[in-house]
Structure 1
């Protein structure tokens, strides 16, 4: 079953370009080190916050990458630019 990790956060407008650059490096590094990352999608919501969805082939692949992420410096560098962050994991059960 396809799995997702959904991050919700805010970013100071002055930090957005830097966040996008670091996020790109982070995604490239995760893809180089782990299998299964199918897609990432960053959406700016009406209230100015962001929803960042990472789609994985399986929950096991997602969980392995998440478990190793604390030792991967781009994670902390990227997260340092966010505020009011929340995260959740889920499984896609229906797509049309």
Structure 2
């Protein structure tokens, strides 16, 4: 199985920084309590409004399970309530050094 990286870029009101961090942490915990992953999650703040969230999934099946589960989770709804204009893309991890 090959790892999959999912990157989500979004903006948020700078005054909502604590809400962004808390909602993201709750979502990750909720996913990990129910399925395998994400195995890693890293959050980058590009500027005061722009964020990039990078999640590693150990297999395409793990990401697929998360995609099916997330819409049913109140933690996902809360996380996306503070994230504006999210765009996401996924790809196979081909090199890691």
Paired positions, count: 96
**In 1, distance between residues paired with 2:35 and 2:63?**
9
Structure 1 residue 52, shift from structure 2 partner: 0.1
Q: Match of 1:61?
A: 62
Q: Match of 2:85?
A: 84
**In 2, distance between residues paired with 1:37 and 1:77?**
18
Deviations 1:67-94 (A, max 9, x none): 1111111101111101121011111001
Gapped runs of 5+ residues in structure 1?
none
Gapped runs of 5+ residues in structure 2?
none
Aligned 8 A contact 2:8 2:88 in 1: yes
Q: Match of 1:29?
A: 30
SS of residue matched to 1:94: coil
Q: Match of 2:14?
A: 13
**In 1, distance between residues paired with 2:45 and 2:32?**
23
| TM-score with structure 2 setting the length | 0.92
Instruction: Report the RMSD for the aligned CA atoms in angstroms.
Output: 1.3
SS of residue matched to 2:5: strand
SS of residue matched to 2:36: coil
Aligned 8 A contact 1:42 1:53 in 2: yes
